[in-house]
Structure 1
């Protein structure tokens, strides 16, 4: 069934998701702080509005995909935000990688307003967004999840209900921890192979399909070798995710030394001006 959708945030992944929704026939009203990001989508049929509140006005489902937890808080709780324009029965779906605590707060406010909320962070980067193969990790009411699932299937291929509010964000932290430590392994393998005088393309041919195989090794290592560090996912946003994961692990009295090392290496890259590059730019630290 076609829906009226509000979509807030049209960055690297958000723009591709909006395109899939439009191609599926949904009516999509978009809000973004950067006008030039919206214009190509308007040409493809999206309706540009002036605030998150306006994006919510006629929507049945509202998706948000912004940068940081403080952006999420502003989008939902400001005077021109989602909840200021929300009404009974609407569903809000935050796809930003944010804090589980904030997701629970959003769910509580949605319940107070007789709305419904899901936290639904995604994994797969620019490639997954373009190809509609995103992995989507969902937390919230299970009936709400079931009602939104057909729309999520427009741009995701691995869509899993994780549990109550905040569970989607916790699952995404697991995802980011695995990526962070794996990226160190990918970079160090390439650095070792280069130092040993090997042909790195040939090395990848051997190790990508074996026990060392991973999404990062298959998809990002070739970009590293080409010197392509353009973002599928920004380092500055990845650092935010690692900070959230470390804060949550500290609260659970859990030590994650691998994640701590990755955070240190990425923080150094940001200090060197790589914050708007893709996560594969960690390879530069080994050059």
Structure 2
């Protein structure tokens, strides 16, 4: 049994903590939101009375955090409280720069730092179907691999440094671009008079029916834009992607355009919708109604 402290029990962190506990590990959790802690308690998780003390007792600290600032804050607490030989696993989507700064801070503490980014939304986290992309010390990765297997069926070790951070951005670039592709394709079809539901039936049975297209088809065929990942969150990730491209002089022209479409969706009031709401943005630009039952 491994003593695990989970910092951050949002939509991703909470189910991950639950899976680790179900796998037989002793789990405590912490979060700045009392509402999230109440939800964790209701699901049978133990809330740490003192996060620093819980980190100090843990064999493994795992975090799921919203941004660079939160990573730096939690990493500072890990550096101060964690014992030598413990492992710090961070699953957040953050910049390579912030992650490298954390690595430098932790290097002197004897804490093993693993960047273990995950691919998948909250529903996939709940179903333990995440794909884990890890980088950091290989021996530490091998030691925590049984924990990572509780999060999903696929784990990939990519290197000693920030490779997992970059790989997550590569994956999210393709996710963002899939939504932009769908926006243009579906708008063309509607503008030409095709039925919305018919288009989704054909797309789901065609050569372009990737797993993400099939997953989105369930909701979007009903024009349900309930978020698994919001427009605002995708803008944050696109900022990270474009910064990473700039750092290595990789031209990401299409991604920059998709970022602007996301900003348009935000400006049009769709910022809390699923990132696929850029479909509505492109429809509006073509003079189409965004109401489900209206014909072009």
| Partner of residue 173, structure 1 | 169
| Partner of residue 239, structure 1 | 235
Which TM-score applies when normalising by structure 1? 0.92
Show structure 2 runs of 5+ residues with no match. 284-289, 291-296
Question: Where does 1:12-91 land on structure 2 (aligned, <5 Å)?
Answer: 12-49=11-48, 52-77=51-76, 81-91=77-87
- Relative to structure 1, is the Cα distance of residues 238 and 13 closer, same or farther in structure 2, using a 3 angstrom cutoff? same
Per-residue CA deviations over 1:220-272 (Å, capped at 9, x if unaligned) read 13322323222212322221111111111111111101110111111222233
Match of 2:130 among 134, 150, 160: 134
- Relative to structure 1, is the Cα distance of residues 22 and 129 closer, same or farther in structure 2, using a 3 angstrom cutoff? same
Q: Which has the higher Rg, Structure 1 or Structure 2? A: 2
Alpha-carbon shift at residue 181 of structure 1 (Å)? 1.2
Question: Which whole-Å CA distance do the structure 1 matches of 2:200 and 2:87 have between them?
Answer: 44
Question: Which whole-Å CA distance do the structure 2 matches of 1:50 and 1:229 have between them?
Answer: 38
Does residue 274 of the first structure (1) align with residue 273 of the second (2)?
no
Does residue 158 of the first structure (1) align with residue 154 of the second (2)?
yes
Alpha-carbon shift at residue 5 of structure 1 (Å)? 0.7
Question: Which whole-Å CA distance do the structure 2 matches of 1:102 and 1:268 have between them?
Answer: 28
Alpha-carbon shift at residue 121 of structure 1 (Å)? 1.2
Alpha-carbon shift at residue 276 of structure 1 (Å)? 2.9
Question: Which whole-Å CA distance do the structure 2 matches of 1:89 and 1:138 have between them?
Answer: 18
Match of 2:121 among 112, 118, 125: 125
Deviation larger for 36-45 or 158-167:
36-45
Question: Which whole-Å CA distance do the structure 2 matches of 1:65 and 1:236 have between them?
Answer: 18
Provide the alpha-carbon RMSD of the alignment: 1.7
| Partner of residue 225, structure 1 | 221
| Partner of residue 287, structure 2 | none
Match of 1:101 among 97, 101, 123: 97
